Structure 1
Amino acid sequence: MSHDPTAAQLLAAYDEQLREEADFDGALDVARHGPLWLVRLRGGRGFVTYRSLEGAGADEIRALVAAAVAHFAEDGSVREIEWKNRGHDAAPGLEEALVAHGFVAEETESIMIGPLEGLVGDGRVPEGVRVRRATEEADVRAVSAMTDRALGKEADGSRADALVALLARDDGSQLWVAEAEGSPVSAGRLTPVPGTAFVGIWGGATLPEFRHRGIYRALTAARARAALEAGYRYLHSDSTRYSRPILERSGLVAVSTTTPWVWRAGPSRG
């Protein structure tokens, strides 16, 4: 990759280095079905990813969706399945097939990629706020509950369990938190991608009443510094409409989009 890669080069690097195995973070087990990787995660979650569906027609894609749902249905513990759809993929009929199998689209996010250096200098910590790593289990669970609230969800113990287990693997993943008056108000993870120059920042969330104060920017800068110290060069992130402008100001480029399509088990499904 050149010193100043183009958006096309960054997208090519994303497809080559950041799909398939890079999506298996925290997997309990992984199965293969044609081009699909079917990943079972903690907390009763399943995840579907792939490098490409190029060449598959609408009938084949419908069959792939059906096969993925059937695979996870065999495991009674899976209560939620996410199919990660990228905007630049050629996948005729995919959205229609997902709808037909009960999947619902969540908010589309921007795939952002760029050099870590641009993020480091943009992180003045606002007065009254402390940014630090969260490592102790009770701390991690408090951060998880805050993140759920920031995303408008009920606190979910299974998500906290999954986060505790992820950090216990000691694979370089980190959880960072911003506190105000001793309580977490913003948080996000840093996840290295082994064998690449990339790290990901994930799970970023800030309580509504603390947004637009520079807290998330400071949190991102702290994670970028930690990644540079560990020898990584580039950052990737699936960014919401809130975090995208922050990353763009720091030199990251939107190379595509990603939309989580989610199936959730209901009472009628047992």
Structure 2
Amino acid sequence: MTPDELRAAYDDQLRTDAEMARAAEVVREGPLLWAVFDHGGFVSYRDLGGIEGDALDELIDRTVRHFRDETDVESFEWKSRGHDLPADLGERLEAHGLVAEPVETVMIGEASLLAVVDVPLEPTAEGPVVVRRIVGGDAAADDLSRMLAAQESVFGGGRGPSLASALAELESGASEFWIAEVGDRVVCGGRLTPVEGTDFAGIWGGSTLPEFRGRGIYRALVAARARSAMQRGVRFIHSDCTDMSRPILERSGLRRVTTTTPYVWTR
């Protein structure tokens, strides 16, 4: 499939109610979906339906007032994409007090391109690297706590999932959580989230501690999740990539289809 065809599938299948499946609350306002998750508010849409100028300013203002006055979230994210119209959307969001976070690249491709049978990993000075899926049970909370702490040390921001949310996703089967360990230290972690009713699964939170980069650990974790996705019948993998992970996924055959810029409002 061409990048344009992949982007159309992304817009049609993911920028819908499917993106809000795990929200505690969803309100539809014109073309927008306003959602509240345990980690904060979230705004998305298939497209803005031609809204621009003063009408767009009014829509943004209603959005800010909704989260400020009708919810108790500390912040919300307006998830824009690079092909969204109008072109001055970002400027208008910033004029209403939202702050742009770093741009990420939306990558999509066939899961089979990522599902390498084996990614060899050389032992580190601290011991061998073990890639495994976190399973339910007594050790799950400790495994997830260590994974989330490692991710927070890489990404910061404090807007990742809470331990309670991660445990709920694990126990319900909504997401799979995978880690790479050296001894009892989580050096890389990420999750796989199939999107019900679509051909897609997302790979999220992929983060490797700086001193363990360049060893193929992230690639091994991606391959393990892709193999699991295929077993679930998933066709496409999508991911919002930083400049660190994008080249790895590109070498595996995923295609750049657009960019995404989160604009964040904070009380």
- Pick aligned residue for 2:200 from 189, 198, 201: 198
For the pair 1:66 / 2:52, whether they are aligned, the reply is no
Query: Does the Cα contact within 8 Å between 1:61 and 1:92 map onto a contact in 2?
Result: no
- For residue 268 of structure 1, what is the aligned residue in structure 2? none
- Secondary structure at 1:63's aligned position in 2? helix
Normalising by the residue count of structure 2, what TM-score does the alignment of the two structures yield? 0.91
- For residue 263 of structure 2, what is the aligned residue in structure 1? 261
For the pair 1:81 / 2:83, whether they are aligned, the reply is no
- For residue 120 of structure 1, what is the aligned residue in structure 2? 115
Shift of 1:192: 0.4
Two-structure CA RMSD over aligned residues (Å): 1.8
Query: Does the Cα contact within 8 Å between 1:72 and 1:78 map onto a contact in 2?
Result: yes
Calculate percent identity across the aligned residue pairs.
47
- Secondary structure at 1:184's aligned position in 2? strand
- Secondary structure at 2:18's aligned position in 1? helix
CA deviations on 1:124-156 (whole Å, 9 max, x unpaired) are 1413111111231221122111110011456x8
- For residue 130 of structure 2, what is the aligned residue in structure 1? 130
For the pair 1:226 / 2:235, whether they are aligned, the reply is no
* Unaligned runs of at least 5 residues, structure 2: none
Distance 1:6 1:122 in 2: 26
1:16-27 equivalences under 5 Å are 16-27=12-23
For the pair 1:37 / 2:41, whether they are aligned, the reply is no
1:82-161 equivalences under 5 Å are 82-121=77-116, 123-126=118-121, 127=123, 128-135=128-135, 136-153=140-157, 159-161=162-164
- Secondary structure at 1:27's aligned position in 2? coil
For the pair 1:7 / 2:3, whether they are aligned, the reply is yes
* Unaligned runs of at least 5 residues, structure 1: 266-270
- Pick aligned residue for 2:48 from 47, 50, 53: 53
1:162-241 equivalences under 5 Å are 162-171=165-174, 173-241=175-243
Query: Does the Cα contact within 8 Å between 1:197 and 1:233 map onto a contact in 2?
Result: yes
Distance 1:100 1:203 in 2: 30
CA deviations on 1:143-173 (whole Å, 9 max, x unpaired) are 111110011456x8973333223323323x1
Distance 1:123 1:29 in 2: 41
Distance 1:245 1:177, change over 3 A: same
- Secondary structure at 2:243's aligned position in 1? coil
Equivalent residue pairs, number: 258
Distance 1:164 1:208 in 2: 26
Deviates more, 1:219-228 or 1:75-84: 75-84
Normalising by the residue count of structure 1, what TM-score does the alignment of the two structures yield? 0.90
* Alignment-mate amino acid for residue 118 of structure 1: L
CA deviations on 1:167-215 (whole Å, 9 max, x unpaired) are 23323x1111111122101111100011122111011111111111111
CA deviations on 1:8-64 (whole Å, 9 max, x unpaired) are 111111111111223214210100100000000003x00000000131112111111
Deviates more, 1:202-211 or 1:243-252: 202-211
- Secondary structure at 2:162's aligned position in 1? helix
Query: Does the Cα contact within 8 Å between 2:33 and 2:43 map onto a contact in 1?
Result: yes
Query: Does the Cα contact within 8 Å between 2:141 and 2:163 map onto a contact in 1?
Result: no
Distance 1:21 1:216 in 2: 30
